[in-house]
A and B are shown apart, each in its own frame.
Chain A
Amino acid sequence: MAIVERHRIYEGTRIPSPIPTVLEVPADLRASDDILQVNFGPNHPSTHGVLRLVVDLDGEKVVGLHAVIGYLHTGFEKSMESKTWWKGITFPERIDYVAFQNNEYVFVAAIEKLLGMEVPPKATWMRTLLCELNRIHSHLIWLGTSGLELGAISMFWYAFREREQILDLFELVTGYRMHTRYFQAGGLAEDIPRGFYPECRKFVERMPKAVDDYEAILDRNEIWMERTQGLGLLSAADAIALGQTGPVLRASGVDWDLRRQQPYLAYDQVDFVVPVYPNGDVYDRYRVHMDEMRQSTRIVAQCLDRLERMEGEPWIADDRKVVLPPREELHTSMESLIHHFKIVTEGYRVPEGEVYVTIESPRGELGCYVVSDGGPKPWRVKFRAPSFVALEATATCMADAYVADMIAVVGSLDTVMGEVDR
């Protein structure tokens, strides 16, 4: 079994019942009239976005909790049913707007699975590199905002300093900082520009020292440890029952990472360590994030080693029914012109079927369920968002905690509300 829980985090289960996601105030306490119901409304300084928590307090202790979501519902799934496969790739990026390329990738992977397309190795390695850079980007934002919420305000500026370097790299490759729309069904939209590899190398050299800086600020900081250790406990069994994946599951002692267990892209050809911690508290989730940043930097370095030897190779598959032909060919070849026209106006057709593709996004298992009717537009697209599931664990993690801990716990679950509400 993949569980390395060396000690029981707590006995039994703390999942509330009858409703697993709602902490109910015990009847006698409610009758005593000491309960104050406070609304942590959709607009609040904790920068996780528009989450509303309705909390019942007995003094400072949280005795009742339920979450209200839906304040960022954008209708992605309905919108994508009316856009062709090609044009629809811009939508998933905005679902988890912090790890955008992972979202892009999962949708493109579902299309490629239905089409049965082979992706050239250069595209695979570059996608791996970009997904890992995106992982570092996501963890940096998490670190900066979590530190900010718990009072370690300077963390925000340190983390965003490196984030700017990553966004510079994205801009160099794709032309845009966020929501890059660089992945296509079959590979990448364009070749990797010259000058990317040395810049990325510089980043890879600087990043480990930056993580050292962050750890120097927070790791052994007494206030940080006091505010994060022993809080938000989640045992491995409860985590699996609640569908948790990603750093939350790994901090509860379960050695589960889809990059290792179900390798996709080029993860089976790179060397990295999956961090697992046994205590299931907020501090361990923080440690998992920090270690993952280091490991992602290692993966990026290995991808660079490989990519530097792949100059001149194709970056997208050759299937002209799905992939746009190169621009020069449009002047000389009639078939290319027709293909271009059909792909842009009607869109390529994806065979009938349904697939469910999962990847390891920075938040956990990100899944994309696609149903195709054989036409140019999807019939149904559903994204399994790890943050949606992570919020279900709030009630369990908050059993027996104070209101000040709530910010730490909800922050450690690393939720992005765009994903939760879709």
Chain B
Amino acid sequence: MSYEGVPGLVETNDAYGETTLVVVSARLVEACTYLRDEEGFDMLSDLTPTDYLGWGAKGVAGYIGTVSGRDLNHPGSQGLQALPERKPKRFSVNYHLLAIRPGAPRLRVQVWVEDGEPVPSVVSVWPTADWHEREAYDLMGIRFEGHPNLARIILEDDWEGYPLRKDYPIGGEPVRFSGEE
């Protein structure tokens, strides 16, 4: 399926049987409204922020081939380490869409933002985004513009910091000999 007409479309990726549309964050609401009304994606299944701080900092070295023919590194790399591709910005916000019709077509809309850059809220398009966006703000610190009630939802109201960020420590107590200190 091609989604040429989506406003603000930057690129389309297809991997593992899933289609990802990368969209400019300024035109996100327009794109989502288009997808809901014209393409029929009437349900927002999930909204996930991801922090890519430190992505590609260490190389991945692996075996060349396996019994099932799977190759972790690109062919011809001779098993030397490969670095994952760099990401455009620090945070990606992924919207997983579902169309309630036979065939269950799914789509991922992806928006890239830097720390401090706000993302337009899609609550006006899918009301279910309300709590998802609050959780993204609470745990990852991404501000959603136009959200009617952007407050912490999972952590206490006076919590400082955003735990799911990569520069936030995991916390807890040190455990001796666990190798995780």
Chain A positions within 8 Å of B, measured between CB atoms, are 1-3, 15, 18-22, 69-70, 73, 75, 77-79, 82, 113-118, 240-243, 245, 254, 256, 258, 261-262, 318-321, 349, 351-356, 358, 365, 367, 369, 371, 373-375, 379-380, 382, 384, 388-389, 391-392, 421-422
Chain B residue numbers with a CB within 8 Å of A384 are 45-46, 48, 96
Chain B residue numbers with a CB within 8 Å of A365 are 45, 98
Supposing A2-B101, A319-B68, A384-B46 touch, asked if A21 and B82 sit within 8 A by C-beta, the answer is no
Supposing A319-B66, A392-B131 touch, asked if A353 and B16 sit within 8 A by C-beta, the answer is yes
Tell me if B100 is interfacial: C-beta within 8 Å of chain A: yes
Cα separation A254 to B99 with both chains bound (whole Å): 13
Chain B positions within 8 Å of A, measured between CB atoms, are 15-18, 20, 42-46, 48, 50-51, 55-56, 58, 60, 62-63, 66-68, 70, 72, 82, 84, 94, 96, 98, 100-104, 106, 108, 123, 126-128, 130-131, 135, 139, 148-149, 152-156, 163-164, 168, 170-171, 180
- Distance between A318 CB and nearest chain B CB, rounded to angstroms: 7
- Distance between A50 CB and nearest chain B CB, rounded to angstroms: 12
Are the C-beta atoms of B68 and A70 separated by less than 8 Å? no
Q: How many A-B residue pairs have CB under 8 A?
A: 147
Chain A residue numbers with a CB within 8 Å of B82 are 374
Cα separation A354 to B87 with both chains bound (whole Å): 13
Are the C-beta atoms of B100 and A240 separated by less than 8 Å? yes
Highest count of chain A CB atoms <10 Å: which of B82, B94, B180: B94
Are the C-beta atoms of B94 and A242 separated by less than 8 Å? no
- Closest B residue to A22 by beta carbon equals B149
Contact of A373 among B48, B67, B84, B106 (CB under 8 A): B84
- Closest A residue to B73 by beta carbon equals A374
Supposing A375-B60, A382-B46 touch, asked if A356 and B127 sit within 8 A by C-beta, the answer is no
Chain A residue numbers with a CB within 8 Å of B62 are 349, 374
Are the C-beta atoms of B130 and A82 separated by less than 8 Å? no
Contact of B68 among A22, A117, A354, A389 (CB under 8 A): A117
Are the C-beta atoms of A261 and B103 separated by less than 8 Å? yes
- Distance between A20 CB and nearest chain B CB, rounded to angstroms: 4
Supposing A70-B153, A70-B155, A353-B16 touch, asked if A242 and B128 sit within 8 A by C-beta, the answer is yes
Leading 5 A-B pairs by shortest Cβ distance: A243-B128, A20-B127, A374-B60, A384-B46, A70-B154
Are the C-beta atoms of A369 and B155 separated by less than 8 Å? no
- Distance between B89 CB and nearest chain A CB, rounded to angstroms: 15
Cα separation A113 to B155 with both chains bound (whole Å): 32
Chain B residue numbers with a CB within 8 Å of A262 are 104
- Distance between A255 CB and nearest chain B CB, rounded to angstroms: 10
Cα separation A18 to B67 with both chains bound (whole Å): 56
Are the C-beta atoms of A261 and B102 separated by less than 8 Å? yes
Cα separation A352 to B131 with both chains bound (whole Å): 29
